[in-house]
Chain A
């Protein structure tokens, strides 16, 4: 039964990674840049929800909506101010700028909200009024799946499916794919490249807000550096699944969560990170574009 428990822990952790990884992969796929500030947008989202629920006593749904709105605007502002002027610059310059934005957000949060760790109020309380765990009990209570974990998994699936449909079926989605393939040609076809990229950042940041709230509901501590480590893990997941591929980010996230949990449970709690990255290296050796990524040879 502890095996099943570990699977559940791994999948719920993995689905949070997957939601973050979907944001990474969207932005990379369309704007062809690694947005290292993505993890810190997660933190901002979690703080928004924390203040909405904790300080103003608003219901959880309003807190989540507020986090999504603030992060969407923040993502678009970051794109407009920091990345758009560098559209023609070498990709290294954009990468460094993204790292800079990441530290700006972290240190800004530290000045605004202090370095001390705060306890996040989960959007679904871990226990009900009677003090019993808010969880789905199976096999006579031997297997317990918390509602927050269930919610993470469901949200992750919904997000993955709707993003796939969005990019495949809608006009805006087609515009995004066109930008991804060839910005110049897309512009000649009458697509507004700037607003398409801006839209991508808006979607990615909204996902970051959702991920932030879910992550802090599952692991209820919050500090200005909360987003940086999951951000790196999710980036790994995106590369693992094949960066730029939406189902790839989903698969990568879930697998990463499961590998991490299994490594902890069956190998060593100290070596879990080493195991995760060793698996990543092996996968990249065998499939350089990641599990579901397409290998596109550079045309010379």
Chain B
């Protein structure tokens, strides 16, 4: 019932989005690209993005769309050998809608070389990757973090950490920095993201000899009462709580822990990113919270500040999060890779796909971006970059 009503609303919204997308797109991006292209003989590569820009997950899709758009505008203004022709399709976070979106992107590109950017969320990404693998299109996702996305598909690559990768990185970080003598874990065992991180964390913690004193779960993110889980961790004497969960339940956990005067170190994954921007959230609750996020919008290096400024112009003042930054890096990865490939103008999508795979897995290709420097990719499609741990100090992120 809900899905049907949603689907109808979404279909209407999507049609509207498509129409406005076409109008806006032809007015802005391709126009300078063509004029530049004609002058310098640049080759245009088509990049088709997919993600939810309406519905419950719209915040994530729009972030990856706008982040990529900022990079595309910068790249096309560079006057380099490659220009990008970027468009974005809505999948509302639903797998079969994502596959239809992918099909319309193929129609949009016709015979021009096309690279698929996305999708934003895991389930649709797995569905689309199966299609692109069969059709031979190169695919780079900014944010779909499950290993299922790239498993047995040589053409699918990730810009974000995988879930198990994040769990392992967290355990190593705690060990290396001597954080917490007794560790408690609370995770959502009804969710693939949370379980993926927690399982890898627990396994790695065992290897490293970390003392995990309590492992607590809850069944879904609609759970509102965590006092039982928190009491169990408190009674076990945990002085560090590892929370590989999204920020909405985490905000409740922080509030309820404070109410029961329980103040361990809270350590989370990238799902915590966004908590500080929740409307009405009391930022003092998050004071001292540590999280692994590849991107810190309050960093002061010039590339980040330029990105944040351009992004805010597109978003109407909303600050970019890691989804946006990963999207930005995806465009530069695609651009820099295409610059290294000869004869793109004569390639079809299949030849471009094979050339890009060879480059990404060749070992010598590295990308410097907002979310990491000298980033490389493994043959599995997984990214290799150093995790960045930030700490909330006075309501903003500070590198820990």
Contacts and interface: CB of A to CB of B under 8 A. Distances in A.
A121 B260 CA distance: 18
B279 A116 contact: yes
A269 B228 contact: yes
Contact of B280 (A54, A110, A127, A141): A54
Contacts of B282: 119
Contact of B228 (A54, A221, A265): A265
B216 interface: yes
B280 A50 contact: yes
B373 interface: no
Interface string B291-306: 0000000000000000
Interface in B50-77: 55-56, 58-59
B1 A126 contact: no
B235 to A, nearest CB: 7
B260 A133 contact: yes
B219 A144 contact: no
B55 A115 contact: yes
B231 interface: yes
15 contacts: A54-B279, A54-B280, A103-B2, A115-B55, A116-B59, A117-B278, A118-B278, A119-B251, A219-B224, A220-B255, A221-B224, A221-B251, A221-B252, A265-B231, A269-B219
B260 A99 contact: no
Contacts of A5: 227, 231
A121 B225 contact: no
B189 A219 contact: no
Nearest to A215: B224
Contacts, number: 90
Contacts of A261: 225, 228
B315 interface: no
Interface string A257-300: 00001001100011011000000000000000000000000000
B177 interface: no
A273 B231 CA distance: 19
Sorted nearest first, the 9 A-B pairs with minimum C-beta distance are A219-B224, A119-B280, A119-B281, A118-B279, A264-B228, A117-B248, A265-B228, A115-B56, A126-B259
Interface of A: 2, 5-6, 9, 13, 50, 54, 99, 103, 106-107, 110, 115-121, 126-127, 133, 135, 141, 144, 146, 219-223, 225, 229, 261, 264-265, 269-270, 272-273
Contacts of A99: 1
Interface SS majority for chain A: mixed
Contacts of B56: 110, 115
B276 to A, nearest CB: 11
Nearest to A228: B222
A11 B203 CA distance: 38
A9 B258 contact: no
A135 B299 CA distance: 39
B97 interface: no
Nearest to B222: A229
Contacts of A50: 280
Nearest to A137: B261
Contact of A146 (B2, B219, B259): B259
Given A146-B259, A220-B255, A265-B228, A118 B222 contact: no
Interface in B18-32: none
Given A99-B1, A116-B59, A119-B251, 13 more contacts: A50-B280, A54-B279, A103-B1, A115-B59, A117-B278, A121-B280, A126-B258, A144-B261, A221-B224, A225-B222, A261-B228, A265-B228, A269-B219
A135 B259 contact: yes
Nearest to B279: A118
A110 B217 CA distance: 29
Contacts of B189: 270
Contacts of A126: 255, 258-259
A180 B231 CA distance: 46
B119 interface: no
B9 interface: yes
Contacts of A127: 258-259
A269 B224 contact: no
Nearest to A261: B228
B5 interface: yes
B260 to A, nearest CB: 6
B44 interface: no
B279 A119 contact: yes
Nearest to B224: A219
A280 to B, nearest CB: 18
Contacts of B261: 133, 141, 144
A13 B225 contact: yes
Contact of B219 (A6, A219, A270): A270
A220 B258 contact: no
Q: Which of B55, B225, B231, B252 has the most CB of A within 10 A?
A: B225
B217 A269 contact: yes
A219 B1 CA distance: 28
Contacts of A141: 261
A82 to B, nearest CB: 16
A259 to B, nearest CB: 13
Contacts of B280: 50, 54, 118-121, 222
A135 B258 CA distance: 12
A9 B227 CA distance: 8
B259 A133 contact: yes
A50 B9 CA distance: 26
Given A9-B225, A133-B258, A229-B222, A221 B216 contact: no
B133 interface: no
Nearest to B277: A116
A225 B5 CA distance: 15
B143 interface: no
A19 to B, nearest CB: 16
B229 interface: yes
Given A115-B56, A135-B259, A9 B228 contact: yes
A242 B231 CA distance: 33
Given A103-B1, A127-B258, A269-B219, A6 B281 contact: no
A116 B225 contact: no
